[in-house]
Amino acid sequence: MLKLYIVNAMVVATAVLIHYEGLLQISRLLPRMRHVGYRMRIITGVGGAMVAHTLEMWMFGLVYYAMVNAQGFGTIKGIASLKLMDCVYFSFVTYTSLGYGDLTPVGGLRFLAGLEALTGLVCIAWTASFLFYEMERYWKNG
């Protein structure tokens, strides 16, 4: 059980770090893009944020895949032969809280799935507030 808590904490901390670094790099890049209009800056910000979210979801998917293939963490029910892309799909659905329900975590993976949904909610809100701030800054000065 302790191993599960450690893995969960490390995965969530890594996702938050990826998100922080992604938004930090975007915030440093946008002011240097003086040669392009403010619309392109915002599109760059949205694209960069999408890359950060995608990296986070892939990371969770890779961890699900590793945990399913290790003993003692549980599994994901709903498909006979679980492949990497199934775990990544499950991660995308969980991170965004879309929750189709076709794949279901069992055992210790339920905790990681819950933490991923919470992490996704926080990171999506963080991105929304970041982009709102950037849009307001460039629209006022645009």
Distance of alpha carbon 110 from alpha carbon 81, whole angstroms: 19
The CA-to-CA distance between both ends of the chain, in Å, stands at: 54
Average pLDDT over residues 120-136: 94
> Phi/psi at 105 (nearest 5 deg)?
-75, 145
pLDDT per residue as tens digits for the range 82-120:
999 999 999 999 999 998 999 999 999 999 999 999 999
CATH no. for 2-141: 1.10.287.70
- Local structure of 46: helix, strand or coil: helix
Average pLDDT over residues 62-71: 95
Q: Do the Cβ atoms of 22 and 52 come closer than 8 Å?
A: yes
Question: What 8-state DSSP symbol labels residue 73?
Answer: S
Nearest CA to 91 out of 62, 131, 50 is that of 62
